[in-house]
Amino acid sequence: MSIFAIHSRPEEGPEAIEAVPERFVWSAFLFTPFWALAKHAWAFLALWLLVVAILAIAHAQIGVEAAATLYGLFALWSGFAAPGIINRTLMRAGWLAHGDLAASDRETAERAWLERVYGAAR
């Protein structure tokens, strides 16, 4: 079982649902800037650019190993922070947050939320 944060856009009908799993996101860890672009997380992408620029400038003073370690820690933090970043990005885009729901997968979470809000399908 995983915890999913449920978001919707009621004006677009009951199909406009997004269930964001509250777990480590490997793609945000391994491919941070591409993940941010894919998720339209522009503020996070700007933060990534700032961190990379600072580390590129500071590597002469702190050493390449220290700069690489600091980038690795930032990437690790990105993997853990990704669900919150996605949640904030959705809310800025006009999606409504409806709380958390425990489910085995994303489809089950969306179906459970629809049944709770609109009733069971017949």
Sheet containing 17-21: which strands, arranged edge to edge? 17-21, 2-8, 96-103
pLDDT, tens digit, 9 for 90 and up, residues 1-51? 899 999 998 888 777 899 999 999 999 999 999 999 999 999 999 999 999
pTM of the model: 0.85
- Cβ(10)–Cβ(118) below 8 Å: no
Bridge partners of 9, per DSSP, are none
User: CB neighbours (10 Å) of residue 13?
Assistant: 9
